Amino acid sequence: MIVISAKLKVLLPEEGGKRITGIKTGYRPNHVFELTDDKPNSTFIGEILFDDTEFIYPGEEKIVKIRFIKESDVENYLYSGRKWWVYEMPNLIARGEVLEIFQDRK
């Protein structure tokens, strides 16, 4: 696994977000690092984990951990300061920014 620390903002509808309920720790949405012609490209599934709460809601921004499977080429897209989008099927729900990258020892 590759684990990152990231700043995650769950978007409000007026910010383009399509989710009206919160997301729970352990949620595994699509993480999109590139968009081509407004269609997601370079998409990876990553598990979002919160340290201090069970949910975050639209409009909230938190520092979270995200775990990606190392066998994918996601590591080519991960570097400090990298920004990306979080989708639930075709719906944009959040945006993130990589703060720190490390290998999971589990």
Residues in the chain: 106
CA distance 31 to 92: 10
25-78 pLDDT, tens digit per residue, is 999 999 998 866 665 568 899 999 999 899 999 999 999 999 998 777 888 889
Structural domain for 27, as ranges: 2-103
Give the list of residues 6+ apart from residue 98 with CB closer than 8 angstroms, or none: 4, 5, 6, 78, 79, 80, 81, 82, 83, 84
Give CA 56 to chain center in angstroms.
Answer: 13
Contact predicate 52/61, CB 8 Å? no
Please state whether the predicted TM-score (pTM) of the whole model is above 0.85.
Answer: yes
- Three-state secondary structure call for residue 25: coil
How many separate domains does the chain show?
1
CATH of the domain at 25: 2.40.30.10
